[in-house]
Amino acid sequence: MQIEDRVAIVTGGGGGIGSAIGAALAARGARVLLADLDGDAAAAAAARINDDHPGRAIAESGDTARTEVIAGLIARAQAEFGPVDMYFANAGITGGPGLDLTEAQWDRVLDVNLRAHIRAAQQLLPGWLERGEGYFITTASAAGLLTQIGSAGYAVSKHAAVSFAEWLSVTYGDRGVRVSCLCPMGVETKLMREGENSGDPLGEAATRAVTSAGDVLTPDQAAATVIEALGDERFLILPHANVRDMYQQKASDYDRWLRGMRRYQASLLATADGPAR
């Protein structure tokens, strides 16, 4: 899809990958609404974009997992810029390490990392199908292809996010709806560092698993890969090329891959206190 003159919404747009995607879109002529639970961060990110590209960014605060907030984002973007062409379901949370998540924590991680995507698609698809085009971009994770050591909620929700993106593409891809799924490994964001700051051995292992498995990219590097993939309308966006190799190894011998992951987890926990829960 050509980016120039398109209207995009980016959730989790106050920082990290989201704000970098917003800036990259605006640099290529798109108009962008950045949405974030941290409204001040979203406003600051939009201001930085407008310093370089006046009038191309606006900001909204709110919980972008909620149906009514998503509806408000779409309405605001349309009123300011025109019909929404692209939706980046980028907001995400880790959910916490191990199996100790409460019911409320499970609900929250599934709401933010999965149901927010479903709710956005439910609102956008009717208009996109009528117009014959639209682009839904999911930020999942390499954890959605390979699992995540340490964080059950993150691994489960990101697998589900990949699956939903696949379903959207299969179901509506021949009707003009384009779908891409971003699956990075280590990107230098607050989210990546949450585990090592959790004080939990599994949380610390979750961060080490990411930082030791390959290069840690900047958000701008990840965003550049996204922009390139949008031009090709490529489904799977892999800023880390070795993720594809790992994914192919997993598919070729699942049991061997699981044994290898258990050994890898054990090595990460070797200096931590206590067994995995």
Q: Compute the distance between CA of residue 5 and CA of residue 95 in angstroms, rounded to an integer.
A: 36
Q: Which residues are catalytic?
A: 154
Angle at 168 between CA 103 and CA 32, to 5 degrees: 85
Total residues found in the chain within this entry: 277
Do the Cβ atoms of 264 and 61 come closer than 8 Å? no
Q: Where are the alpha helices (DSSP H) in the chain?
A: 16-27, 39-52, 67-80, 103-110, 116-131, 143-146, 152-172, 190-193, 201-211, 219-232, 242-252, 254-269
* Contact by Cβ (8 Å): 50, 57: yes
What is the longest distance spanned by two Cα atoms in the chain?
Answer: 57
8 A C-beta contact, residue 209 and residue 264 = yes
Q: Are 93 and 112 in contact (CB under 8 A)?
A: yes
Residue type, 120: A
Tokens representing residue 264 in the block: 């890898």
Nearest 5°: the CA angle 49, 31, 133 is 145
Show the tokens assigned to 238: 């892999």
Secondary structure E strands in the chain: 7-11, 31-36, 57-61, 86-89, 134-139, 177-182, 236-237
**Token digits of residue 104:** 């409320």
What DSSP letter does each residue of 179-199 carry, written as one string? EEEE--S-B-SHHHHTTTTSS
